[in-house]
Structure 1
Amino acid sequence: MAKAAGAIRIGIGGWVFEPWRGSFYPAGLPQKRELAHAAGKLTSIEINGTCYGAQKPESFAKWREETPDDFVFALKASRFCTNRRVLAEAGPSIEKFLTGGLTELRHKLGPINWQFMPTKQFDPADFEAFLKLLPGELDGIALRHAVEVRHDSFRSPDFIALLREYGVAAITAADAAYPQIADATAPFVYARIMGTKQAEPKGYSEAGLERWARAARAWAGGGVPEGLETLAPPAGNEPRDVFLYVISGDKLRNPAAAMALIARTRG
């Protein structure tokens, strides 16, 4: 009997963006209702504000209450954890970030994006020391960790092997100048696609949307999407949950692209 495919969740980065008012958000919608509206159209959102400053536990609880029961948030980790010369020394910053209230999201807490600067190079020993600092659970909630590396030195099978050892996902950055690493290294996949264009009403062409819908379905089924760059042989064919965010590009079009991808991956 075939195993069921993993869940596919698709969304955007953040929900506060003035140009979305009157396009993605209906004219006259109160700003305090924007998250609820976005959550009714999407299946996940990546919170960016957590990268730049601490959020109150009450804010996480409020976001949980304003969204549907099956909605999930991804979080960008604090930049103070990753923007450092010696990653092995990040322990206090990681603890401060993780204990700042994010578990108030409860079952709506999705993966955490530990994003590194484009200048950060792969030092295997130091990077492993960083991975050892990431706990598997907090307050009884399982944590899912993903790393977004943006330097060519990470394009190494050794990097993929290290992530697989610790069950951490390599974030696939796509349609961008950053290295594309599409290897599945964890029980879930995290992708950020950045190629939306103003000339396309849905952000991507129909062919582009279908390409990413096929990729999401392949990952969810335990397969390897065609046309994406990988660095090591596949590790099994177990179904995986997929988190895909339409980021950057022409930001005005990102909600339309996300909704179009949701429509293509349902059913």
Structure 2
Amino acid sequence: MSDASADAPLGTPQARAFVGISGWVYPRWRREFYPKGLRQADELAYASERLSSIEVNGSFYALQKPASWERWRDAVPDAFVFAVKGPRFVTHIKRLRGIEAPLANFFASGVLALGGKLGPVLWQLPPTLAFDEGLLDDFLAQLPRTRADAAALAAGHDERMEGRSWFAVDPHDTSPQRHAVEVRHPSFETAAWTDLLARHRVASVVADTAGRYPRLTATTADFAYARLHGEEELYASGYDDASLDRWAEWAHTHRAAGRDVYIYFDNDAKVRAPFDAMALIARLAA
């Protein structure tokens, strides 16, 4: 499997691989992945010792509190990175229209308290949202490109965030803020979408969805992002040795070109995700 384009944007010379799971609070994982007797409060720390990244998906459903972001930041190793799922209020309810305040509220909610452990923000679009170049161009243009930009955007939050916001970022912090978009409507299978993402330097998510949704493989940013929802059965089936070898090759190809890679297993229904992630980490370390 090699989806890396030779003329796609390049990243850092010493590219890294971040491999993990989408979310970590799953009752069915207890006694299978999480050992018997482990406190729920310690599950993130346990997972972070075995993985190199996790997608925070609670942020998709509701704005989290600054204290939660700080607690999660402090629970994981220094080299650990979180990807953060952008709110469905922006993508699914507002459908990318009139989102200035919701975007500001999201970045004011405390996500920036992750500091150097904040990786890409994932924006998952609903399957009923078709490609609209003008709408998407406007949305991508609003996304902050640096931590300082994100804090400046957060400063425009509305009154709902009063007393529950955190965006104390150095105004000179030019650390890049990465973004990735996962689409689920077939109309996005067009060069116009690929070109638009590349123009805004936003990653096109490679989504493995057992054939249900489009699988876009173009490289449009200086990093690559994949979400593995299940090869044969959505959210349930695991990845065999041959499949994991192909994903390891995909990661190696991007890293050789200087791109960081982010890979998340979302096949959580049968407790495959954490074990598949650990197996892929082992391959990349070999």
Q: With structure 1 as the length reference, what TM-score do the two structures score? A: 0.87
Secondary structure of 1:41 counterpart: coil
Map of 2:26 onto structure 1? 17
Cα–Cα, structure 1 residues 175 and 79, in superposed 2: closer, same or farther, change >3 Å?
closer
Map of 1:234 onto structure 2? none
In the TM superposition, what whole-angstrom CA distance separates every residue of 1:49-77 from its partner, at most 9, and x where no partner exists? 00001111111111010000000000110
Map of 2:223 onto structure 1? 188
Count of paired positions: 246
Map of 2:279 onto structure 1? 260
- Once residues 58 and 33 of structure 2 are traced to their aligned partners in structure 1, the CA distance between those partners, rounded to angstroms, is 20
What letter is aligned with 1:80?
F
- Once residues 197 and 29 of structure 1 are traced to their aligned partners in structure 2, the CA distance between those partners, rounded to angstroms, is 32
What letter is aligned with 2:78?
D
Cα–Cα, structure 1 residues 61 and 77, in superposed 2: closer, same or farther, change >3 Å?
same
Map of 2:66 onto structure 1? 57
Q: Could you tell which deviates more after superposition, 78-87 or 144-153? A: 78-87
Structural mapping, 1:110-125, within 5 Å: 110-125=119-134
Q: Could you tell which deviates more after superposition, 52-61 or 76-85? A: 76-85
What letter is aligned with 2:98?
E
Secondary structure of 1:113 counterpart: strand
Q: With structure 2 as the length reference, what TM-score do the two structures score? A: 0.82
Offset of residue 99 of structure 1: 1.3
Map of 1:221 onto structure 2? 256
Structural mapping, 1:155-174, within 5 Å: 155-174=189-208
Q: Please provide the CA RMSD for this pair.
A: 1.8
Work out whether residues 174 and 180 of structure 1, in 8 Å CA contact, stay in contact via their aligned partners in 2: yes
What letter is aligned with 1:179?
P
Is 1:240 paired with 2:274? no
- Once residues 277 and 95 of structure 2 are traced to their aligned partners in structure 1, the CA distance between those partners, rounded to angstroms, is 36
- Once residues 39 and 73 of structure 2 are traced to their aligned partners in structure 1, the CA distance between those partners, rounded to angstroms, is 19
- Once residues 252 and 81 of structure 1 are traced to their aligned partners in structure 2, the CA distance between those partners, rounded to angstroms, is 30
In the TM superposition, what whole-angstrom CA distance separates every residue of 1:210-251 from its partner, at most 9, and x where no partner exists? 1111111112222xxxxxxxxxxxxxxxx1100000113644
Cα–Cα, structure 1 residues 250 and 5, in superposed 2: closer, same or farther, change >3 Å?
farther
Q: Indicate the structure whose relative CO is greater, using CA pairs within 8 Å and at least 6 residues apart.
A: 2
1:144 alignment partner, one of 175, 178, 182? 178
Secondary structure of 2:271 counterpart: helix
Cα–Cα, structure 1 residues 55 and 134, in superposed 2: closer, same or farther, change >3 Å?
same
- Once residues 197 and 24 of structure 1 are traced to their aligned partners in structure 2, the CA distance between those partners, rounded to angstroms, is 22
- Once residues 155 and 242 of structure 1 are traced to their aligned partners in structure 2, the CA distance between those partners, rounded to angstroms, is 22
Work out whether residues 64 and 105 of structure 1, in 8 Å CA contact, stay in contact via their aligned partners in 2: yes
What letter is aligned with 2:130?
Q
Work out whether residues 238 and 272 of structure 2, in 8 Å CA contact, stay in contact via their aligned partners in 1: yes
Work out whether residues 265 and 273 of structure 2, in 8 Å CA contact, stay in contact via their aligned partners in 1: yes
What letter is aligned with 1:172?
V
Q: Percent identity?
A: 43
Offset of residue 22 of structure 1: 0.9
- Once residues 25 and 80 of structure 2 are traced to their aligned partners in structure 1, the CA distance between those partners, rounded to angstroms, is 17
Offset of residue 31 of structure 1: 1.1
Q: Could you tell which deviates more after superposition, 146-155 or 85-94? A: 85-94
- Once residues 43 and 95 of structure 2 are traced to their aligned partners in structure 1, the CA distance between those partners, rounded to angstroms, is 39
Offset of residue 88 of structure 1: 4.2
Cα–Cα, structure 1 residues 125 and 57, in superposed 2: closer, same or farther, change >3 Å?
same
Work out whether residues 208 and 231 of structure 2, in 8 Å CA contact, stay in contact via their aligned partners in 1: no
Moved over 4 A (4+): none
- Once residues 196 and 150 of structure 1 are traced to their aligned partners in structure 2, the CA distance between those partners, rounded to angstroms, is 16
What letter is aligned with 1:165?
R
Work out whether residues 82 and 90 of structure 1, in 8 Å CA contact, stay in contact via their aligned partners in 2: no
The gaps in structure 1 that reach 5 residues or longer are: 223-238
